[in-house]
Structure 1
Amino acid sequence: MSNEEDRKAGKSAVLQRFPTERRAIEQLAARSEDFCDMCEELVEAELALRVAQMMPAEIRGERTAEWVAQIERLSAEIGRALRTANVIPIGRVNRPKTHS
Protein backbone atom coordinates (compact mmCIF):
# COMPACT_ATOMS: atom_id res chain seq x y z
CA MET A 1 0.00 0.00 0.00
CA SER A 2 1.16 3.53 -0.67
CA ASN A 3 1.45 6.14 2.03
CA GLU A 4 -1.74 7.81 0.80
CA GLU A 5 -3.60 4.48 0.83
CA ASP A 6 -2.33 3.84 4.38
CA ARG A 7 -3.66 7.21 5.49
CA LYS A 8 -7.05 6.60 3.90
CA ALA A 9 -7.28 3.17 5.51
CA GLY A 10 -6.29 4.67 8.86
CA LYS A 11 -8.90 7.43 8.66
CA SER A 12 -11.52 4.90 7.62
CA ALA A 13 -10.74 2.66 10.61
CA VAL A 14 -10.94 5.59 13.01
CA LEU A 15 -14.19 6.82 11.45
CA GLN A 16 -15.72 3.39 12.08
CA ARG A 17 -14.87 3.69 15.77
CA PHE A 18 -15.68 7.40 16.11
CA PRO A 19 -18.35 8.12 13.48
CA THR A 20 -19.53 11.35 15.10
CA GLU A 21 -16.02 12.81 15.07
CA ARG A 22 -15.57 13.03 11.29
CA ARG A 23 -14.64 16.72 11.30
CA ALA A 24 -12.07 16.37 14.08
CA ILE A 25 -10.60 13.27 12.42
CA GLU A 26 -10.23 15.08 9.09
CA GLN A 27 -8.64 18.10 10.75
CA LEU A 28 -6.22 16.10 12.86
CA ALA A 29 -5.26 13.87 9.95
CA ALA A 30 -4.49 16.96 7.88
CA ARG A 31 -2.15 18.48 10.44
CA SER A 32 -0.77 15.74 12.69
CA GLU A 33 1.66 13.08 11.54
CA ASP A 34 1.40 11.46 14.98
CA PHE A 35 -2.37 11.14 14.64
CA CYS A 36 -1.99 9.59 11.18
CA ASP A 37 0.53 7.14 12.58
CA MET A 38 -1.92 6.10 15.32
CA CYS A 39 -4.63 5.60 12.71
CA GLU A 40 -2.35 3.44 10.59
CA GLU A 41 -1.29 1.43 13.66
CA LEU A 42 -4.97 0.79 14.36
CA VAL A 43 -5.44 -0.66 10.87
CA GLU A 44 -2.39 -2.88 11.33
CA ALA A 45 -3.61 -4.07 14.73
CA GLU A 46 -7.07 -4.86 13.37
CA LEU A 47 -5.50 -6.87 10.55
CA ALA A 48 -3.24 -8.71 13.01
CA LEU A 49 -6.31 -9.51 15.14
CA ARG A 50 -8.04 -11.08 12.14
CA VAL A 51 -4.92 -13.16 11.45
CA ALA A 52 -4.66 -14.17 15.13
CA GLN A 53 -8.27 -15.35 15.09
CA MET A 54 -7.33 -17.87 12.38
CA MET A 55 -4.35 -19.31 14.27
CA PRO A 56 -4.34 -22.78 15.79
CA ALA A 57 -6.44 -23.05 18.93
CA GLU A 58 -3.46 -23.49 21.27
CA ILE A 59 -2.14 -19.98 20.52
CA ARG A 60 -5.27 -18.24 19.22
CA GLY A 61 -6.56 -17.04 22.60
CA GLU A 62 -3.32 -15.48 23.74
CA ARG A 63 -2.59 -13.76 20.43
CA THR A 64 -6.17 -12.56 20.10
CA ALA A 65 -6.05 -11.08 23.62
CA GLU A 66 -2.78 -9.29 22.81
CA TRP A 67 -4.22 -7.65 19.70
CA VAL A 68 -7.52 -6.77 21.38
CA ALA A 69 -5.53 -5.02 24.13
CA GLN A 70 -3.47 -3.17 21.52
CA ILE A 71 -6.60 -2.07 19.67
CA GLU A 72 -8.19 -0.86 22.91
CA ARG A 73 -5.03 1.08 23.82
CA LEU A 74 -4.85 2.70 20.39
CA SER A 75 -8.58 3.51 20.43
CA ALA A 76 -8.23 5.18 23.83
CA GLU A 77 -5.22 7.16 22.62
CA ILE A 78 -7.06 8.25 19.48
CA GLY A 79 -10.09 9.18 21.58
CA ARG A 80 -7.90 11.37 23.81
CA ALA A 81 -6.40 13.05 20.74
CA LEU A 82 -9.89 13.77 19.40
CA ARG A 83 -11.09 15.18 22.72
CA THR A 84 -8.01 17.37 22.97
CA ALA A 85 -8.51 18.60 19.42
CA ASN A 86 -12.05 19.67 20.32
CA VAL A 87 -10.93 21.71 23.33
CA ILE A 88 -10.59 25.42 22.87
CA PRO A 89 -8.25 26.77 25.52
CA ILE A 90 -9.72 29.63 27.45
CA GLY A 91 -7.06 31.73 29.00
CA ARG A 92 -7.14 34.71 31.19
CA VAL A 93 -7.81 37.79 29.15
CA ASN A 94 -5.28 40.51 29.74
CA ARG A 95 -7.28 43.64 30.20
CA PRO A 96 -5.74 47.03 30.66
CA LYS A 97 -5.67 48.06 34.27
CA THR A 98 -7.88 50.95 35.14
CA HIS A 99 -6.70 53.48 37.63
CA SER A 100 -9.34 54.62 40.04
Structure 2
Amino acid sequence: MPDDKQRKPGVSAVMQRFPTERRTIEQLAARSEDFCDMCEELAEAERALLLAQALPAEIRGERTAEWLAVIDRLIAEIGAALRTVDLIPIGRADQPKSRS
Protein backbone atom coordinates (compact mmCIF):
# COMPACT_ATOMS: atom_id res chain seq x y z
CA MET A 1 0.00 0.00 0.00
CA PRO A 2 1.27 3.51 -0.71
CA ASP A 3 2.56 5.61 2.14
CA ASP A 4 0.99 8.97 2.98
CA LYS A 5 3.30 10.88 0.58
CA GLN A 6 2.28 8.73 -2.41
CA ARG A 7 -1.44 8.62 -1.60
CA LYS A 8 -3.88 10.85 -3.47
CA PRO A 9 -5.01 13.90 -1.46
CA GLY A 10 -8.63 12.72 -1.47
CA VAL A 11 -7.82 9.32 -0.01
CA SER A 12 -5.67 10.99 2.65
CA ALA A 13 -8.55 13.34 3.52
CA VAL A 14 -10.89 10.38 3.98
CA MET A 15 -8.36 8.53 6.11
CA GLN A 16 -8.16 11.55 8.41
CA ARG A 17 -11.95 11.41 8.83
CA PHE A 18 -12.10 7.61 9.20
CA PRO A 19 -8.75 6.58 10.74
CA THR A 20 -9.92 3.13 11.82
CA GLU A 21 -10.98 2.29 8.25
CA ARG A 22 -7.58 2.73 6.56
CA ARG A 23 -7.43 -0.72 5.03
CA THR A 24 -11.02 -0.59 3.75
CA ILE A 25 -10.45 2.88 2.30
CA GLU A 26 -7.32 1.74 0.45
CA GLN A 27 -9.06 -1.34 -0.92
CA LEU A 28 -12.12 0.59 -2.03
CA ALA A 29 -10.02 3.36 -3.58
CA ALA A 30 -8.06 0.76 -5.53
CA ARG A 31 -11.17 -0.67 -7.17
CA SER A 32 -13.80 2.08 -7.31
CA GLU A 33 -13.46 5.21 -9.41
CA ASP A 34 -16.70 6.52 -7.90
CA PHE A 35 -15.25 6.20 -4.40
CA CYS A 36 -12.06 7.96 -5.50
CA ASP A 37 -14.18 10.77 -6.95
CA MET A 38 -15.97 11.20 -3.61
CA CYS A 39 -12.60 11.28 -1.85
CA GLU A 40 -11.30 13.96 -4.20
CA GLU A 41 -14.50 15.98 -3.78
CA LEU A 42 -14.00 15.88 -0.01
CA ALA A 43 -10.41 17.12 -0.31
CA GLU A 44 -11.52 19.92 -2.64
CA ALA A 45 -14.37 20.92 -0.32
CA GLU A 46 -11.97 21.02 2.64
CA ARG A 47 -9.61 23.28 0.65
CA ALA A 48 -12.53 25.53 -0.32
CA LEU A 49 -13.58 25.74 3.34
CA LEU A 50 -10.10 26.93 4.27
CA LEU A 51 -10.24 29.56 1.53
CA ALA A 52 -13.68 30.65 2.69
CA GLN A 53 -12.18 31.48 6.09
CA ALA A 54 -10.19 34.27 4.41
CA LEU A 55 -13.18 35.88 2.68
CA PRO A 56 -14.54 39.26 3.76
CA ALA A 57 -16.72 39.03 6.86
CA GLU A 58 -19.94 39.87 5.02
CA ILE A 59 -19.77 36.67 2.94
CA ARG A 60 -17.52 34.45 5.07
CA GLY A 61 -20.30 32.98 7.21
CA GLU A 62 -22.52 32.04 4.29
CA ARG A 63 -19.70 30.45 2.26
CA THR A 64 -18.38 28.62 5.31
CA ALA A 65 -21.83 27.19 6.00
CA GLU A 66 -22.19 26.09 2.37
CA TRP A 67 -18.86 24.25 2.38
CA LEU A 68 -19.55 22.67 5.76
CA ALA A 69 -22.83 21.32 4.34
CA VAL A 70 -20.99 19.88 1.33
CA ILE A 71 -18.40 18.28 3.61
CA ASP A 72 -21.09 16.80 5.87
CA ARG A 73 -22.89 15.32 2.84
CA LEU A 74 -19.70 13.80 1.46
CA ILE A 75 -18.72 12.35 4.84
CA ALA A 76 -22.15 10.72 5.09
CA GLU A 77 -21.85 9.28 1.56
CA ILE A 78 -18.33 8.01 2.17
CA GLY A 79 -19.35 6.53 5.52
CA ALA A 80 -22.22 4.69 3.82
CA ALA A 81 -19.86 3.37 1.16
CA LEU A 82 -17.46 2.12 3.83
CA ARG A 83 -20.26 0.39 5.76
CA THR A 84 -21.59 -1.42 2.69
CA VAL A 85 -18.24 -2.53 1.26
CA ASP A 86 -18.00 -5.51 3.60
CA LEU A 87 -21.53 -6.76 2.99
CA ILE A 88 -21.48 -10.14 1.32
CA PRO A 89 -24.50 -10.98 -0.81
CA ILE A 90 -25.72 -14.43 0.18
CA GLY A 91 -28.32 -14.76 -2.52
CA ARG A 92 -31.67 -13.37 -3.45
CA ALA A 93 -34.67 -14.29 -1.38
CA ASP A 94 -36.78 -14.94 -4.47
CA GLN A 95 -34.38 -17.55 -5.83
CA PRO A 96 -34.83 -21.11 -4.61
CA LYS A 97 -31.74 -22.85 -3.36
CA SER A 98 -30.53 -25.56 -5.65
CA ARG A 99 -30.28 -29.04 -4.19
CA SER A 100 -27.52 -31.24 -5.43
Report deviation, 1:89.
Answer: 1.9
Report the TM-score, using the length of structure 1 for normalisation.
0.85
Structure 1, unmatched stretches of 5+, are none
Equivalent runs, 1:1-100 vs 2, <5 Å: 8-91=8-91, 94-96=97-99
Give the distance between the partners of 2:83 and 2:50, measured in 1 at CA: 28
Report the TM-score, using the length of structure 2 for normalisation.
0.85
Count of residue pairs the alignment pairs up: 93
Between the aligned residues of both structures, percent identity stands at 73
Structure 1 stretches of at least 4 aligned residues deviating more than 3 Å after TM superposition: none
Give the distance between the partners of 1:51 and 1:10, measured in 2 at CA: 17
Superposition RMSD in Å: 2.0
Give the distance between the partners of 1:82 and 1:17, measured in 2 at CA: 12
Give the distance between the partners of 2:74 and 2:37, measured in 1 at CA: 10
2:97 partner letter: N
Report deviation, 1:95.
Answer: 4.2
2:17 partner letter: R
Report deviation, 1:8.
Answer: 1.2
Report deviation, 1:88.
Answer: 1.6
2:36 partner letter: C
